[in-house]
Chains A and B, each alone.
Chain A
Amino acid sequence: MSTATGRGRRQLDTTAIVFIALAAVMAIGAILVGTVGRNFLSPGNIRDILTSMSVLGFVAIGQTLVILGASLDLSVPYVVSLSSLIAADTMAGSNARILPAVLAALGACALIGLANGLIVTKLKVHGFMATLGMGLVVKGYLDTQYKGTSGNVPWNFQLIGATGIGPVPISTLLMLGFAALVALYLARTRTGNHLFAVGDNVEVSRLSGIRTARPVIAAHMLCSVFAGLAGLLLASRLGVGSPTVGTQGGYDLLSIAAVVLGGTLLMGGRGSVWGTIGGVAIFAVLDNVMSVMQLNPFLKEVVRGVVIVLAVAIYTGRSIARRRARFGPDAPPPAPGPRDSARGPASASAPSPGHDAREARR
């Protein structure tokens, strides 16, 4: 008997739970949308949902990386704005300058991310404070340097934000493509693997020979770059750069909420990009349904607030890994073997992980 399966009946994968929740939200949404005589699955509606996923999706992918490394990034809205401005200004309406503009915008974002990462890892400032401060610094720069929207995005670049394949916007496909790349990065690169390790336990990672600062710095850089990609997408959709477009979207808290909704532990070490995409999709569907229902904008906020808490509550409730019962209705069929007790997950000195994780990392 293999213990893996014995201990198995592996609980539902967290990402799966997120997508089940998404399906439920979509089902309820479809019914609600139907009551006002609209079709939830019409191309225009699907497009609306997917479009609103794209920008938040980019930001949330980056935020996932940072949170996996047990940090946080509150500076993303300002980085988004900065990226849109640098890009639009550099392009100045010329197709030829698209590439340099994209590189300049992402380069600047990477530098901000590098600064965030260095402050967090070298100065030992909690990510919350470091990025809150960095956000203010970038905001100060934006306010001083830019007066309103600026720049001009050439039509070819605008096409990225404005074109779709059927009802699927290119921007959403790009976002999902990048999500796939990040999933690959996390699973199949050393830095990605080490990011999980550092987020899980810095000390153990350090003793295991991981340069613990590196994955965290990389995560912060990638997070800022993804915020920069979101800014590029916004520049493409707006046709100009805007110093307020990042804050308008409330991407800081919303992206964190989406990441947690997607099953990533707020304290790091466990999570997945696909869960985050699921979390982003839940928000997008929710917003779409409320808009179609023409809900009072203030009530929308109330619903959002309630849904965020309840959705995470359902998820945390599900994910509490219990010690496997030996007796009672849930008990597995008796399978005595000479080593059975050794393998028993009921082992007390390895307190059930969910139990431990619950209390140790909120």
Chain B
Amino acid sequence: MNVIRTLLSPRGAVFLLLAGLLIAVTVISPSFAEPGQLIRFIQRVAPIAIVAIGQYFVIVGGEFDLSMGSLITAQVVIAGNLIGQDAGRIFPVLALMLVLGVLVGLVNGLLVTLLKVPSFIVTLGMMLALLGGVMYWTGGAATGNPVDSFRQLGRGGIRGVPVIEILPYSVLVMAAVLAAAIWLTRTSFGRTVIALGDNPRAVRYAGARSWWVTTSTFVISALTATISGILLVGYAGVHPKVGQGYEFIAITAVVLGGVVLGGGRGWVVAAMAGAFALEALFTLLNFAEVPSTLRDGIQGVIIIAAVAYSASPLGGAKRKAAPPAPPQTSPPDGKEPVAPAHLGS
């Protein structure tokens, strides 16, 4: 029921948009709808969908993470330089990458929560520092791609699957991340994150460790950036450009998914659908052979239009500390309950 209602609401706009774009692509190139092609499409979206999921937690908790792109780049370069052609180093380096991811998230989160610096600024600084640091360390270029066995995660898949021929590992990873994210949104942690985006004081006065909850969202976002980096190094290889701009793509995807910038409202599945819609748009532009110089313009118009459409009266404007008083006498379900019965008893 809940799902259906959401689909029909303005917040479900992203699903309509996605469906429209996919249909348009299929009309232009019917082979796109073949299962084999479709699964390749999903494989390609997986890294973006995963960072969108990570960004969702940060945004719904009322913050921004602009450092995701640089973190992806850092992880990609680390994989290239430290794993190299030695398959035996995959697991130690993987562990190192996860530690780095957690560390970046912790630093972001703690600067935001303990030093009270706006997350926009903290993660902007982290974005500059991480990218600069990695470039300094590598002299701007990685040694080379990591071993193929490591890259399989982003590039390969289970072959011989009926209908779709190949089931890319990244699709499985994305499904796992999504499942974990959905589960997380239903846990106490997930509910607290949303409440935090809604009213941080109320959460603090309920005894929650809000600093830790917020920090955790940054850790989650950094971890999804790490996972995305692992998939991308497989999908495309090592390059300092990999990951660039992913923070804006992720934020755009999340907002397209109807999540309110400022927090307190949004659905993780819709955020992921936002990522799919964005990528379907790129694909459509590719298939439609739109002149390459025009693409950004079209993308801009569609983003504005889609966000405008999904901006419902409740979600469109940011809510301030004291939200506008709700209609005091007019809950849609009827009158206010007054004079409870036990008065007389």
Contact = CB atoms under 8 A, between A and B. Distances in A.
Interface stretch (B123-131, B151-159, B216-224): B123-131
B331 interface: no
- For the complex, would chain B's binding face be called helix, strand, loop or mixed by DSSP majority? helix
A296 B308 contact: no
Contacts of A267: 318
B183 to A, nearest CB: 27
B297 A309 contact: no
Interface string A265-304: 0110000000000000000000000000000101111111
A125 B299 CA distance: 16
Contact of B129 (A132, A306, A356): A306
Nearest to A355: B201
Nearest to B139: A298
Contacts of B122: 309
A137 interface: yes
Contacts of B209: none
B324 A308 contact: no
Contacts of A141: 297
Nearest to B129: A305
B302 to A, nearest CB: 8
B316 to A, nearest CB: 3
Given A123-B311, A129-B255, A136-B299, A306 B125 contact: yes
Given A125-B311, A266-B118, A359-B201, A301 B132 contact: yes
Contacts of A137: 296-297, 300-301, 304
A140 B261 contact: no
A308 B200 contact: no
Interface in A304-331: 304-309, 312-313, 316-317, 320
A298 B132 contact: yes
A358 interface: yes
Contact of A358 (B63, B116, B132, B313): B116
B293 interface: yes
A359 B304 contact: no
A306 B301 CA distance: 35
A266 to B, nearest CB: 5
Contact of A203 (B298, B308, B320): B320
- For the complex, would chain A's binding face be called helix, strand, loop or mixed by DSSP majority? helix
Nearest to B204: A359
Contacts of B307: 125-126, 129-130, 133
B131 A136 contact: no
B128 A305 contact: yes
A308 B121 contact: yes
Contacts of A119: 304, 308
A303 B132 CA distance: 9
A202 B126 CA distance: 32
A134 interface: yes
Contacts of B116: 313, 316-317, 320, 358
Interface residues of B, number: 59
Contact of A129 (B127, B140, B201, B303): B303
Contacts of B324: 203
B169 interface: no
A28 to B, nearest CB: 18
B163 interface: no
B179 interface: no
Contact of B297 (A136, A257, A298, A301): A136
Interface centre among A133, A138, A144, A303, by most chain B C-beta atoms within 10 angstroms, is A133
Given A130-B304, A136-B303, A359-B204, A260 B120 contact: yes
A95 interface: no
A23 interface: no
Interface string A322-347: 00000000000000000000000000
Nearest to A143: B293
Contacts of B126: 305, 309
Contacts of A10: none
Contacts of B117: 309, 312-313, 316
A360 interface: yes
A140 B62 contact: no
A309 B120 CA distance: 10
Interface in B297-345: 297-301, 303-304, 307-308, 311, 313, 316-318, 320-322, 324
Nearest to A302: B132
B92 interface: no
A125 B304 contact: yes
Interface in B84-116: 111-112, 115-116
14 contacts: A124-B316, A128-B261, A129-B255, A130-B307, A136-B303, A138-B300, A140-B294, A144-B297, A203-B320, A301-B128, A303-B132, A304-B132, A305-B124, A362-B63
Given A138-B297, A140-B297, 19 more contacts: A123-B308, A124-B313, A126-B261, A129-B303, A130-B304, A133-B304, A136-B296, A136-B303, A137-B304, A143-B293, A257-B124, A266-B120, A296-B136, A304-B125, A305-B124, A308-B121, A309-B111, A313-B111, A361-B321
Give the top 9 A-B pairs by smallest Cβ distance, nearest first. A140-B297, A301-B132, A136-B300, A305-B129, A360-B321, A124-B316, A305-B128, A143-B293, A309-B125
